[in-house]
A and B are shown apart, each in its own frame.
Chain A
Amino acid sequence: MKTVVSRDQVQGDFVKKVAEISGENFFNCYQCGNCSAGCPSVNEMDLLPSQVVRYLQLGLAEEVRNCKSMWVCAACMMCQARCPKGVDISKIMEALRVLQLREVDAKAHIDVTDFSEDYLERAPQIAMISGYRKFLPL
């Protein structure tokens, strides 16, 4: 299968959005592969972390959107610690997750109106944050 690469993709909205949310410049990456070499979760990934960045460089939005790697990423930040060019891939992965959650009909686990004022006073903050963490419909 031939992959079409065009200016519209390379400078497309999706990659611009990922760059904006993550604050990272994919073009800093020179594809050495050190992130993929050190990643502890790579066995469960369908795309290597370096491949995710490569696809973003080429503007291949669909491939990146549909990859499992962003969900496998444990945000351990090993990649960021080792990257010789200072690219924070865990931020990129987070940006991909955020975009995915924004795009699909994702719901928060809780609805704050379900709880009483009294309960909300007592509920631990971290539990509330976890409750707001969205999940994807299957």
Chain B
Amino acid sequence: MKKLGVFVCWCGSNIASSVDVEQVVVQAAKLDGVVHAEHYMYMCSDPGQQKVKDAIKEKGLDGVVVACCSPRMHENTFRKAAGLVGLNPFLLEIANIREQCSWVHANNKPVATAKAVSIIEATLDKVKQNLPLETITIPLNKRVCVVGGGIAGIMSALDLADAGYEVVIIEKEPAIGGHVAQISTTFPYFQKLPELLQKKIDEVNAHPRITVYLSSEVDELEGYVGNFKVTIRTRPAFVDHDKCTGCGKCFEVCPVSVPDEFNRGLSQRGAIFRYNQGSEHQLPIINRDDCLHFSDGEQENGEKCQLCVDACAEQAIDLGAIRSLQEELVGAIVMATGYDVYSPANLPEYGGGRLPDVIDGLAFERLLDPKGPTGGRIVRPSDGRVPKSVVFIQCAGSRDPERHKAYCSRACCMYTAKQARLYKRQVDDGTAYISYMDIRSDSRDFEEFVQQGMEEENLVYIRGRVAKVFPEGDVLKVFTADTLSGRQLEIEADLVVLAMAMEPKSGVRELAKKMNVTIDGDGFLSETHIKLYPVESSTKGVYLAGCGQSPKDITDTVSQALATSGKIQTMFSNETLIADPLIAEVKEDVCSGCGICIDICPYGARIMDDFKRISMVNQAVCQGCGACIAACPNKACELINSTSRQFIRMVDDFSHKAQMA
């Protein structure tokens, strides 16, 4: 027979005003097995907790019910207190008589009081069948895999590596740096980004604890928190970078000419090329899809094209290279997958993708880059003329729930102001118009930056969404409205710059599926809690940073990246991981191995034991949500300490009471 204790909290007047706590204690004391019952104004306070501890010690309680607020609030508090005096914490349960009783029956004291007693009685019956449990320990591999080598991945990796942990960066493109490598200048202080970034890239390359996989993607992910196995698929560069001297002869002979993605199509490149033409640090690679050797392109003499191979004095080019698969074992993963620019072709009314002088913001950044396709000169892509009138269109594709993206892309207001200011600094007799709906300049010195643009560079902000852009002669006509003056406007422009929405990187949906990470309706990776767990994904041990989670600027991206590093270091500060034992359990003799639970488990915690042909629970991964228990057709699994036996007993208690009333 268990010796049970009941502790009733007033919660100030929250509970005591509608529940007669004294009456509850009198009633509870009469219940089966209860040897101690008392009430107190704030049970969660230090003296309140002391009362619980004292009673456990003095009366030798082996089961405790605290009747108070939701277990979400103070279950941990009381379990910890009980543990301190030697009671197994899992033999303490919370009876929620605040959210589920006093608050909903505020005007009916007799009903609230009777209900509080029932809740306590039912919880006592649950405690009687609770098992004392020990926490589960899981081994921990203190290595990290960072998916994405943009600024988020770089900053997270550097911080973790500096803290002493080995880091693996997986980058899809042939170079790390991400979109930041394409951007010329920061806001709000006009710092030169390429220099800032190159410093960080050099640090990564020189770091003894960082391994970078370029042109690589996650092929497969197995395992769970502390023990992931990442399979990495690497596309070949076809160029041996140990032999290559970067002389550039191969570029000259390559007969292919395709738009350069890095320069947003503002220049051409060959099939063998430097990913960033302006970076002397990068060595050539071959894009298999563009190369004539791999397509049907036979030369006249019947041989496959290998002009670059012949041109290379160092014999660094090997067209026979194949893709490789490698495995890395890590304990935590940072998803820094980044964004894609929503294609301007989605905005035909602005001539996006059709008119050469309608470009997106990232292309404009390439024009501003001194090592970019124009050497940093702002000119029209169509005829190379300096534009004297530029219309910047904000919210292009953003904030349009009917046709495009419902969300705000956050960085565009600021980078547009920056671009317009840089334009005015270069072309001082030019006019920059900015079409906007609202100006969102919500960080330090951002508002001042925008205002300064208006005051000093005389940027003409026009409040209204542009209706259409069309060519007339060799200029562009922009039809818009100015809602401030109530006028419909027609503006003559030489160049139109679209501040396109950011969208999740292509392929992230499939990657999220492999990682078991949930994504939101727009395809961004979702965090566990927007306020309190902003960098934790739905899978334990997988963290989120940067624009893969939501559109943001460099400042916020880096903050988030460093937050992931902090979270991982906290996790790595222990030698093993500790998991809650309130998880699913399988009755091995009942399980038929149908596998329904494996499909239903949102955490990938159910696994088929191939030898026994039954479904097992991975203790490290299971979160105790109970989905498999509901789904199991023959009741082969149970949630530990929340068994159906316990719950049926609790329901019986309530229905018994209801019949009596």
Q: List chain B residues, Cβ under 8 A from A85.
A: 451
A127 within 8 A of B: no
B491: A residues at CB distance < 8 A: 4-6
Does A11 sit at the interface, judged by CB under 8 A?
yes
Whether B458 lies near A27 (C-beta < 8 A) is yes
Binding stretch for chain A, among B140-148, B333-341, B343-351, B479-487: B479-487
Residues of A within 8 A of B488 (CB): 1-3
B489 adjacent to A5 (CB under 8 Å): yes
- Decide if A31 touches B459 in the complex (CB within 8 Å): no
Partner of A7, one of B459, B463, B487, B492: B492
Q: Tell whether B460 is near chain A: CB-to-CB under 8 Å.
A: yes
Chain A residues whose CB sits within 8 angstroms of the CB of B487 once the complex forms: 3, 58, 60
The answer to whether the Cβ of B389 comes within 8 Å of any Cβ in the partner chain is: yes
Contact of A2 among B429, B431, B490 (CB under 8 A): B490
Binary per-residue interface labels of chain B (430-461) against chain A in the complex, 1 for a CB within 8 Å, 0 otherwise: 11010000000000000000010011001111
State whether A30 and B451 are in contact (beta carbons under 8 Å apart), knowing that A54-B484, A57-B460 are contacts in the complex. yes
User: Judging by beta carbons under 8 Å apart, are B454 and A27 in contact?
Assistant: yes
When the two chains form their complex, are residues B455 and A25 in contact, meaning their CB atoms are under 8 A apart? Answer: yes
B489 & A3 in contact (Cβ 8 Å cutoff) = yes
Dominant SS at the B interface? strand
Q: Are B451 and A58 in contact (CB under 8 A)?
A: no
Interface-central residue, A5, A11, A55, by most chain B CB under 10 Å = A5
A51 with B485, Cβ < 8 A, contacts A4-B490, A7-B492 known: yes
B388 at the interface (CB under 8 A from A): yes
A28 at the interface (CB under 8 A from B): yes
Residue of B nearest to A31 (CB): B484
Q: Which residues in A have their C-beta under 8 angstroms from that of B479?
A: 2
A10 interface contact, C-beta 8 A = yes
Q: C-beta contact mask, A46-71 vs B, less than 8 Å → 1, else 0?
A: 00001100110110100000000000
Q: Select B431's contact among A3, A7, A28, A54, beta carbons within 8 Å.
A: A7
* Alpha-carbon distance between A51 and B460 when the two chains are bound, in angstroms: 15
> For A6, what are the chain B residues with a Cβ–Cβ distance below 8 Å?
389, 491-492
C-alpha gap A85/B451 in the complex (Å)? 10
Q: Which residues of the other chain, A, contact B462 by a CB distance below 8 angstroms?
A: 58
Central interface residue in A1, A2, A7, A60, by most chain B CB within 10 Å: A7
Chain B nearest Cβ from A64, distance in angstroms: 11
- Chain B residues with Cβ below 8 Å from A11 are 429, 431
A11 and B429 alpha carbons, distance in the complex (Å): 9
Within 8 A of B (CB), among A29-56: 30-31, 50-51, 54-55
Contact A5 B463 (CB under 8 A): no
How distant is B1 from chain A, measured CB to nearest CB, in Å? 75
Q: How far is the CA of A35 from the CA of B126 in the complex (A)?
A: 69
Which one, A4, A10, A54, contacts B485 given CB within 8 A? A54
The distance in angstroms between the C-alpha atoms of A54 and B487, with both chains bound, is: 11
Bound CA–CA A89/B389 (angstroms): 28
**Residue of A1, A25, A27, A55 touching B459 (CB-CB under 8 A):** A27
Q: What A residues does B459 contact at CB under 8 A?
A: 27
Closest A residue, CB atoms, query B463: A31
B466-500 interface mask toward A, CB cutoff 8 Å, 1 = contact, 0 = none?
00000000000001001011011111100000000
Cβ contacts under 8 Å, B463 to chain A: 31
Asked if B389 contacts A7 (CB within 8 A), the reply is: yes
B485 CB contacts on chain A under 8 angstroms: 51, 54-55, 58, 60
What is the 8 Å Cβ interface bit string for chain A, positions 90-114, against chain B (1 contact, 0 not)?
A: 0000000000000000000000000
- Give the nearest-CB partner of A51 in chain B: B485
Q: Which residues does chain B contribute within 8 Å of A30, judged by CB atoms?
A: 451, 454, 461
Residues 1 to 19 of chain A near chain B (Cβ within 8 Å): 1-7, 10-11
| A54 to B455 Cα, complex, angstroms | 14
CA distance A14 to B492 in the complex (A): 19
Complex: A1 Cα to B481 Cα, angstroms: 11
Of all chain A residues, which has the CB nearest B457?
A27
Contact partner of B455 among A2, A28, A55, CB < 8 A?
A28
Inter-chain CA distance A2–B484, complex, in Å, is 15
A55 partner residues in chain B, CB cutoff 8 A = 485
B518: shortest Cβ distance to chain A, in Å?
41
Taken together as a complex, chains A and B put the C-alpha atoms of A31 and B484 apart, in Å, by 7
> Whole-angstrom distance between the alpha carbons of A11 and B428 in the complex?
11
Give bound CA distance, A27 to B457, whole Å: 9
CA distance A27 to B434 in the complex (A): 13
A58→B460 contact, CB < 8 A: yes
CA distance A85 to B454 in the complex (A): 11
**How long is the Cα–Cα vector from A55 to B487 in the complex, in angstroms?**
10
Between A50, A55, A58, A85, the greatest number of chain B beta carbons within 10 A of the residue's beta carbon is seen for A58
Contacting pair A27 B455 (CB below 8 A): yes
A54 CA to B485 CA in the complex, in Å?
Answer: 7
Which residues on the B side are within 8 Å of A54 (C-beta)? 482, 484-485
Which of the listed residues A1, A27, A28, A51 has the most CB atoms from chain B within 10 Å of its own CB?
A27
- Measured between beta carbons, the chain A residues less than 8 angstroms from B460 are 5, 10, 27, 57-58
Q: Say how far A49's CB is from chain B's closest CB, in angstroms.
A: 13
Instruction: State the CA gap A19–B389 with chains docked (Å).
Output: 21
A7–B482 alpha-carbon span in the complex (Å): 16
**Residues from chain A with Cβ under 8 Å of B484 in the complex:** 31, 50-51, 54
Task: Output the least CB separation between B388 and chain A (Å).
Answer: 6
Determine the chain B residues whose CB is within 8 A of the CB of A57 once the complex forms. 460
Give Cα distance in the complex from A54 to B389, angstroms: 19
List, in ascending order, chain A residues with CB within 8 A of B454's CB.
27-28, 30
Cα–Cα, bound, A58→B487 (Å): 11
CA distance A5 to B490 in the complex (A): 6
Q: CB-CB < 8 A to B455: which residues of A?
A: 25, 27-28
A51 to B482, CA, bound (A): 11
In the complex, chain B residues whose CB is within 8 Å of the CB of A27: 454-455, 458-460
Contact call B431/A10, Cβ cutoff below 8 A: yes
Q: Contact residues of A with B, CB < 8 Å? A: 1-7, 10-11, 25, 27-28, 30-31, 50-51, 54-55, 57-58, 60, 85
Other A-B pairs beyond A30-B461, A31-B484, 5, CB < 8 Å = A2-B490, A5-B491, A6-B491, A7-B389, A7-B430
Subset of 10 A-B contacts with CB under 8 Å: A3-B488, A4-B489, A7-B431, A25-B458, A27-B454, A27-B459, A27-B460, A28-B454, A58-B489, A60-B487
In order of increasing CB-CB distance, the 5 nearest A-B pairs are: A7-B431, A27-B458, A3-B487, A54-B485, A27-B454
